[in-house]
Amino acid sequence: MDMDFTPDELAFQHDVRAFLQTHLTARLIDGARRTPGVFVEPDIGLEWQRILHEKGWLATHWPVEHGGPGWTPVQRYIFEKECAFAGAPALPVLGLKLVGPVICRFGTPEQQARFLPRILSAEDYWCQGYSEPGSGSDLASLTTRAVLQGDTYRMNGSKIWTTHAHYANWIFCLVRTDNDVSAQRGITFLLVPMDQPGITVTPIITMAGDHEVNQVFFDDATSGVENRIGDEGQGWTIAKHLLENERGGSCFAPKLLVDIDRLAMTAGEVPSGVNGAIGHDPVIARRLASLRLRARAFEITELRILAEIAKGRPPGPQTSLVKLFSANLRQELDTLAMEIHGLAGLQLPDERPLYGNEAPEPVGSVDAQLAAGRYLNSRAWTIFGGSDEVQKNIIAKTVLGL
């Protein structure tokens, strides 16, 4: 595989860097830096989304006819890598990278005209209704029921671990519409408005102290048949397409490499009672080097997958490799950060504003304040989007042929 960028790709990289230098504000960088989890707060993420939307650089996974920039897979990689190096906040992934591509591929022209522009403009904010209290890794066992009465579906049941449901005005759901067929064939993909009396959002406060996820209850909640994506019973097929985007729709290696370099820099400043800075400890240095080498190898894997996509081959089960590697590297990195920061990593974040007249704090002190939150939050990486065990089964069956 040729790893060198073409002259056009190098020119694009220069354009991205120039844009980030002029449009990525200190407020956005600081907001991203103070985020312990995967999702930034909407006031940060949506501000960055609107800036990219105005530039036409937002829906990088969408076809041009629906508002995508028409980039090649390599250009998407360059953009995400430069954003990671610059410290840009994460975008609201649920609308842009999950349900948006589903509507592009499976939605009717009317659904595309109705929903896609509002995702781009940030007028609609989405959450995902997949997991249930008794249906996590075994997603096909879900029981939330939707019965079609005339032109309206009436829903009853609940979804759990619903990220940012307390902000969302729409939820995309997997619902059971037929109990008389196999589990997978009875599932339908439905878009449901959140602002109605039949929906209750109950906060779930994580052990990191975050209110990021929720349980959502449906008590005779309704959604019109015009909000069904695809046919009844097609939900499992659509869900698999969406999960491929969730597991491998982004480039994870660049952000990992940035965070590893930042931790190595911090380790060189954290005092140790034995050898000066803790980063001089050979055990710590070896673990940082191992993380960096594996993240580099992981980056090559992501680039190989992008090369296949560029040839018109869908990534398929290879996305499970991406999910498996990125989740475990992230957990190992956050564990090492806790060890490096020690007691300083157990302090609560202060109440200072994200921006103002004060001089910014050193990077190390902010990372120390967030070390515990990041460590606790990243415990979910090997569970969400399909647990490690699920990914290994997919790899064993579809990649290794076992």
Active-site residue set: 246
Residue 190: count other Cβ atoms within 10 Å of its Cβ.
25
Phi-psi region of 175 (alpha: psi -120 to 50; beta: other; left: phi over 0): beta
Positive or negative torsion for Cα 73, 78, 83, 85: positive
Amino acid at 18: A
User: Does residue 360 sit in helix, strand or coil?
Assistant: coil
Amino acid at 332: E
Residues 6+ apart with CB under 8 A from 113: none
C-alpha 5/C-alpha 2 separation (Å) is 8
Task: For residue 204, give both structure tokens.
Answer: 């779930």
Task: For residue 322, give both structure tokens.
Answer: 């991406």
Query: Contact, 174 vs 130, CB < 8 A?
Result: yes
The CA radius of gyration of the chain, in Å to the nearest whole number, is 22
Half-sphere CA count of 106, side-chain side, radius 13 A: 24
C-alpha 62/C-alpha 231 separation (Å) is 22
C-alpha 357/C-alpha 352 separation (Å) is 11
Query: Contact, 382 vs 327, CB < 8 A?
Result: yes
C-alpha 185/C-alpha 362 separation (Å) is 54
C-alpha 330/C-alpha 324 separation (Å) is 10
Distances (CA, A) of 133 to 142, 149, 162, 216, 375: 9, 26, 11, 11, 24
C-alpha 197/C-alpha 186 separation (Å) is 26
Query: Contact, 279 vs 267, CB < 8 A?
Result: yes
Distances (CA, A) of 248 to 44, 127, 161, 317, 338: 24, 19, 20, 9, 27
